[in-house]
Amino acid sequence: MRPPHLAGNYAPVTEELTAHDLPVTGRIPGELTGWYLRNGPNPHDAASGHWFFGDGMIHGVRLDGGRATSYRNRWVRTKTFTDDAPVRDEHGVRDLAAGAANTHVVRHAGRTLALVESSFPHEMHLSGSGTPLPSGVCDLDTAGPYDFGGRLTTAMTAHPKTCPTTGEMHFFGYDAQAPYLTYHRADAGGDLVISRPVDVPGPTMMHDFNLTAGHVVFMDLPVVFDLELARSGTMPYRWDDEYGARLGVLRRDDPYGTVRWFGIDPCYVFHPLNAHDDGDRIVVHVMRYPELWRQDTDTFQHATLWRWTLDLTTGTVREEQIDDRAAEFPRVDDRLVGLDARFGHASDAEGGTMLRYDLRTGGVARHDFGEGRHPAEASFAPADDEPGGAGWLLTYVYDAATDRSDLIVLDADDLASDPVATVHLPARVPYGFHGNWLADL
């Protein structure tokens, strides 16, 4: 019997496909010209010790002129994929050019990067990204590991944040050995210009972080690396009641300065929705788990939307639950990352719904995909040049009845209505992690 992370729609697909002129129900907005990409684990040998470990596979749909012109899925060809190279040696030391590259796919300074938090990024070839494809190279072919010209010497988080004002990309790397955490910043041209260690007491799993116009906010939470678990081949992290939980604030205008720490109630957060400055306060919205992996790494409690308000004057944090619906994979309009975004959205794959939060009124709009239909993370594609304005949500949706997947386009301002368009894919897209709408440059 297959383990749960290799069964149903968690099971990997076995072929790389290319299809053209995909059938569409409804009408694809003519403004959408670019790629919708999503990354996720898809072990090429159809086996892995945990869902998080499978080789990365990117599924991409090309939209152009109101048509779905192509679909393709391609494995990210890392050293782990091509040579079966392990991520860590017997001492727990990482090979930063290895890894699954299975978590996210982003674009910065004209480069399309497949990401996993245990290694270097891997650059992918993509037409429309600002750099013409070399002769003989196809979309989503792997160019190779990318280390910012040798400047990057740590792993890179799968969740970098690009400032919509400066174009800078902020990110970090964490490790099982000191320094456990390193903060990085690349300028708008893609040059790595800042790398500095951040002092934390132990090797926690820091999956994501927060960015505002003036601050970087780290989440140092009590899920801690265990070398014995790593040697056993399973997820090498467990909940630690003794570690505590805190948020670290670094001023962006003083990147080598002191990180100021704020204690919070123990919890875990994979993904924040967004953060922004509010005078002498920092407001952070997150999908919060009360705890994670106390007993094993196959059991998840539900995450719900919470708000943390950090008071920089008093040194305190106000913690509030905003909604009680189970949801994950929160996103905002990327042009408002670090700013006061009114709307955010998240998906509930088990419940088959997409949620849109109004962070000012507390209202929640909901799209129900129907029985047996399960959405993934959605990306916001803008309809105009106004940040936070009209746009669409794009997401892959798995249909258990047909064992197939569609790309769904929803009107973000009218979430409850029928999809604007449904692109029927030639294959199933397994459950995965993160992606982006990458409009042509």
Show the domain range for 275. 4-439
Strand ranges across the sheet with 268-278: 268-278, 281-289, 304-311, 316-321
Peptide bond into 43 cis (omega under 30): no
Residue 49: per-residue pLDDT:
72
Would you state the pLDDT for residue 226?
84
Spell out the residues 6+ positions from residue 228 whose beta carbon is closer than 8 angstroms to its own.
Answer: none
Between CA 338 and CA 217 the distance in angstroms is 11
List, for the chain, all residue ranges whose pLDDT scores fall below the cut of 70: 88-92, 297-299
Q: Each residue of 247-269: pLDDT tens digit?
A: 999 999 999 999 999 999 999 99
Give all strands (DSSP E) within 94-251, no chain letters. Answer: 104-108, 111-115, 122-124, 142-145, 161-162, 169-174, 181-186, 192-198, 210-211, 215-220, 223-225, 237-239, 246-251
d(CA 43, CA 81): 9
CATH of the domain at 252: 2.120.10.30
φ, ψ of residue 93 in degrees (nearest 5): -85, 135
pTM attached to this predicted model: 0.95
Number of domains in the chain: 1
The predicted pLDDT at position 297 comes to 66
The whole-angstrom separation of Cα 435 and Cα 419 is: 20
